[in-house]
Every structure is written in C-alpha cells, then in structure tokens.
Amino acid sequence: MAEKGAVHSIIDNIHERARLIQKRVIEAANEMIPRIKTDIFTEFGEYQQAKVEELFRSAVNQFYAAYRPAYYERNFSLYNALEYEPDEYGIVDDQIDNDSLFSWDGVSSFERGGGSHGLFDLVFMEGWHGGAAGIDRRGDVRTSPHYRTPEGFYYNWGKQAVNTESPHDIAMRNIHGAESMMDYEFEKIAERYTEILTNQLSEKANMIAGEVFSDWR
C-alpha cells in the first residue's frame, strides 16, 4: 500500500507541474500574440499602401495618356488627389470599401476652379481633360466643359473639352481588381509570422518545462 501511495504522490506531482507549465505557456502566448498581430498588420499595411499608390499613379498616367493637351498645360497635380487615412496598423481597407481614398484638398491648383465642386469633380471624378463650364463675358452658357480660346484673354468659348474614363474610375477598377492579390499577400505574411510564433512558443514551452522540472528527482 505504501508503494501505491508513493506512486500516486508522484503522479499528482507531475500533474501539478504540468498544470503549471500549461498556465505559464498560455501566459507566454498571450504576451506574444499581440506583438505578432501588430507585426502582421503593420507589414501588410506598408505593402498595401505601396500597392495602392502604385495603382493610383498608374491610373493617373493612363488618364494623361488618353489625350495630349493642345489647349492647356498639364500641372500633374492629379498625383496629389490620393489622400487616404490608414488605421492604427497602416491599413486602408475601409477606405477602399467605401471609396474615400481621394480628396480635392491635396489638389491645390483645382481649388481655384471651385474646390470640391469645380475642376476636381470635372477632371478627376468625371474625366474631362481641362475645359470649363459656366457663362463667358458675353453671357454665353456652357453646361459641359469647353476650352477657352486665346482671343480675348481666354474669355471666349472654344471647342468642347475632351472626355475619357476618369482617373477615379480607372484607379478604383485597378485597386478593386488587385484586392485578391493583396489578400493573398496578407495570407503569406500571416503564415510567415504564425510560423515564427509557433517556433518561439515551442522554445518558450521547452524552457518553462525545464525550469518547472529542474528540481525533479
């Protein structure tokens, strides 16, 4: 009977140490996981911002290439229309979903054309290559954008402005078309950090087990 009691005591001692190991491993995991999560989303945020900027710039270049200016000089300020606000990790998923990646505030030269209801809307949102709408000095009305003629210091209407697919529409099509690629990149980043976490936690568990059983006889 004494031997059985000794065996039970040893087993109970092992169970107690195992529970201690489990508790400490869980605590270690709870410390590691938030850091790994931050690393995953921060790296993806940097990748996503770079990809969105690349796709946006490509869209603006495509719009510029659709028409060679004959009536005005480009100032290339459309490049400043991308004004996203990333979340705490640098991710812009919400703005991609609700189409709020762009702002006329950064396109200062367009403000002289009426701000958010002027050339930003006409050029960036609607795809007009220059031109203006409204009333000229003689009272002639143009409801769609027209170029101004040089005669009379550009106060007289010329031909209707050229209209092609807007930079906004091109950019959103490019960005939405790349979402599956960005999702795949996120998965790759997450898998890599998950492997790192697994290895770190395994090493930590071995160290904890060694500490807990260091006095085992």
pLDDT, tens only, 125-169: 999 998 888 877 778 888 888 888 877 666 788 889 999 999 999
Phi, psi dihedral angles at 19 (to 5 degrees): -65, -40
pLDDT of 113 reads 47
Give residue 13's identity as a one-letter amino acid code. N
Q: Is 116 within 8 Å of 107 (Cβ atoms)? A: no
Q: Is 145 within 8 Å of 128 (Cβ atoms)? A: yes
Instruction: List, for the chain, all residue ranges whose pLDDT scores fall below the cut of 50.
Output: 109-117
pLDDT of 23 reads 85
Is the model's pTM score more than 0.95? no
Bridge partners of 141? Answer: 135
pLDDT of 114 reads 44
Bridge partners of 160? Answer: 146
Residue 133's SS3 state is: strand
Q: Find the distance separating the first CA and the last CA of the chain, reported in whole Å.
A: 22
Bridge partners of 129? Answer: 162
